[in-house]
Chain A
Amino acid sequence: MQAAIDKRRQVIDTFKRELIRRLNLPYTTEDLHEDVALLGAGLGLDSLDALEIVLCIENSFGIKIPDENIAVLRSINTVVDFVLAQKAEKEAPQ
């Protein structure tokens, strides 16, 4: 269990730090609950912020998010799920 936690925590921390830096959010990483909505409700980010988040994920994890994939950007947790799944796919033996 600890290994799974550590792997997830690392992605969460990296993403939160970048999110706060790029969008200049007035919160610490501890303040951001992983389930809080990113767009509209919750953090209330707009479409320009959404583009910044996509670039943030691309640059932090080397993972591209397809243009219309709004399901990924719903919460920090959904982003982290996507990143972990893509990483697993890349690392999987062909």
Chain B
Amino acid sequence: MKASPFHDSFAKKNAVFAQRYGTSVVSKVSDSAAEYHCVRDALALTDVSYMQRFSFPEDKGLDFLDSLCAGNVAKVRFGRMLHTFIADENGHLLADCYVANNDEQFVLLAETIVDAAAFKDLLLSRGAADAGMVDLSESHALLSVDGYKAWAVVKGLFGADVLGLPYLSVERYDFQGEPLALFRAGKTSEFGYYLLAPASKAAPLFDACLAIAAENGGGLCGVEIHNDLRLEGRFFNIFAEGAAVRDPLVLGLQWMIDFGKSEFLGSKAIFARRAAALSHKIIGICTESGAKELVKGTPIYSGPSQVSEVVASCYSQLLSTYVGLAVFPVGIAFAGLQFCLGSERGPAIHTISMPPIMPKSLTVKLDEL
């Protein structure tokens, strides 16, 4: 199993490590309430080197990635990135991906729910070697900076111009004489950046970012709290609802698909399911205030019959209730309805519009800073 280039830096800060799909991850660094507030009120650094990362020369990479991804890689303009997924032959999710067009190359950043080695084997079996794929997993480190004040870190490192980067864009910068790719992305609904740098620069990059984070009341966090942050912001989480459901159509990920493409991996199955019309879809739920828990797997009842079950949940510190996701039959998959949790007479649970929270970052205009 590969160790992250940031392993030692996080280890020194008493990080708790775990394993996920064949990679080591920092699951937490301090308690979850502290990590949560770091992101919502200041900023936090997360080691996201668990994401698989590959680069491809632009000309060969284009066709290869386009044959794999559901989205249209051909339409990814220079300096921009595409949020899409890779599925298997049956049209079930394998990876949630960003495909970035960074100058003369494409960069693939993938969160996979298959083993890292198996994912790479899949790419190779589809002709990745001929497409000039370079595995950056060992050579490069990937750090994410998220939060209301995340911009302070990149502004501190690269100057105020960086604030003009729109969401889902990529730009090249220099860090201590080495090229660094900066991605404006993130899945917390606060400002978010990924920094991809050579592994040799992992430690100094970590130190430089942490210094600025500390000045701004920020700190470190693990991947666990990101499950809550994603759910509150209604960002798709492949490790939660993605792994549980796996059908991109039920998950509402049609926006990641270009239905005009003639073919991509799993397209036949996905197109067939689309033509047959959906029977179920995932929607948001929340408990009433005072509820004690919302546990994944709990059945949801409409009168005497079970209609659904909880597939993801978290306690929302902003809303002071539990929020979650559940797959409902399309006929009743609407916000604003009331059901019962656990049994016919269980506590009330409501279907809701997502995203349920209004993050502070949305009230800030970055380029005015």
Nearest CB on B from A93, distance (A):
22
Does B297 have its Cβ within 8 Å of any Cβ on chain A? no
1/0 per residue, CB under 8 A from A, across B343-368: the answer is 00000000001110010001100000
Inter-chain contact total with CB atoms closer than 8 Å:
80
Chain B residue contacts of A1, Cβ below 8 A: 302, 332, 337
Minimum CB distance partner of A71 in chain B: B358
Tell me the complex Cα distance, A32–B331, Å.
15
Does A91 have its Cβ within 8 Å of any Cβ on chain B? no
Chain B residue contacts of A89, Cβ below 8 A: none
In terms of DSSP, what is the predominant structure of the interface of chain A?
Answer: loop
Tell me the complex Cα distance, A30–B254, Å.
9
User: Is the pair A5, B167 in contact by a Cβ cutoff of 8 Å?
Assistant: no
1/0 per residue, CB under 8 A from A, across B258-278: the answer is 111000000000000010011
User: Is the pair B259, A27 in contact by a Cβ cutoff of 8 Å?
Assistant: yes
User: Is the pair B254, A81 in contact by a Cβ cutoff of 8 Å?
Assistant: no
Does A80 have its Cβ within 8 Å of any Cβ on chain B? yes
User: Is the pair A5, B335 in contact by a Cβ cutoff of 8 Å?
Assistant: no
Tell me the complex Cα distance, A31–B257, Å.
10
User: Is the pair B355, A41 in contact by a Cβ cutoff of 8 Å?
Assistant: no
User: Is the pair B254, A27 in contact by a Cβ cutoff of 8 Å?
Assistant: yes
* Cross-interface CB contact of A41 among B83, B259, B335, B353, cutoff 8 Å: B83
User: Is the pair A26, B260 in contact by a Cβ cutoff of 8 Å?
Assistant: yes
Nearest CB on B from A13, distance (A):
12
1/0 per residue, CB under 8 A from A, across B262-301: the answer is 0000000000001001100101100000000000000000
Chain B residue contacts of A74, Cβ below 8 A: 355
Does B235 have its Cβ within 8 Å of any Cβ on chain A? yes
User: Is the pair B168, A41 in contact by a Cβ cutoff of 8 Å?
Assistant: yes
Minimum CB distance partner of B330 in chain A: A30
How many residues of A are in contact with the other chain, CB < 8 A?
29
Nearest CB on A from B75, distance (A):
11
Chain B residue contacts of A17, Cβ below 8 A: none
User: Is the pair B252, A77 in contact by a Cβ cutoff of 8 Å?
Assistant: no
Nearest CB on B from A30, distance (A):
7
Tell me the complex Cα distance, A56–B234, Å.
24
- The contact size tier of chain B is 20 to 34
Within 8 A of A (CB), among B234-265: 234-235, 252-255, 258-260
Tell me the complex Cα distance, A4–B284, Å.
17
Chain A residue contacts of B166, Cβ below 8 A: 40
Known: A33-B254, A33-B255. A4 touches B336 (CB 8 A): yes
Nearest CB on A from B111, distance (A):
15
Known: A30-B277, A35-B283, A41-B167. A75 touches B336 (CB 8 A): no
User: Is the pair A4, B337 in contact by a Cβ cutoff of 8 Å?
Assistant: yes
* Cross-interface CB contact of A34 among B302, B353, B362, cutoff 8 Å: B353
User: Is the pair A78, B353 in contact by a Cβ cutoff of 8 Å?
Assistant: yes
Chain B residue contacts of A8, Cβ below 8 A: 334-336
Nearest CB on A from B325, distance (A):
9
User: Is the pair A35, B354 in contact by a Cβ cutoff of 8 Å?
Assistant: yes
User: Is the pair B337, A75 in contact by a Cβ cutoff of 8 Å?
Assistant: no
Chain A residue contacts of B354, Cβ below 8 A: 35, 75, 77
1/0 per residue, CB under 8 A from B, across A10-44: the answer is 00100000000000001100111111110011111
Nearest CB on A from B337, distance (A):
6
Known: A75-B234, A75-B354, A78-B353. A35 touches B337 (CB 8 A): no
Can you list 20 A-B pairs with a CB-CB distance of less than 8 A?
A: A1-B332, A5-B331, A12-B334, A30-B274, A30-B277, A31-B254, A33-B253, A34-B334, A35-B252, A35-B284, A35-B354, A35-B355, A41-B83, A71-B358, A74-B355, A75-B355, A77-B335, A78-B353, A80-B353, A81-B353
Q: Please give 11 more A-B residue pairs, beta carbons under 8 A apart, in addition to A77-B354, A80-B335.
A: A4-B336, A27-B255, A30-B277, A32-B255, A33-B255, A34-B335, A36-B255, A37-B355, A41-B168, A75-B355, A78-B353
Across chains A and B, which 6 residue pairs bring their CB atoms closest together, nearest first? A33-B252, A77-B353, A35-B354, A31-B254, A40-B167, A8-B334
Q: Which residues of B contact A (CB under 8 A)?
A: 83, 166-168, 234-235, 252-255, 258-260, 274, 277-278, 281, 283-284, 302, 331-332, 334-337, 353-355, 358, 362-363
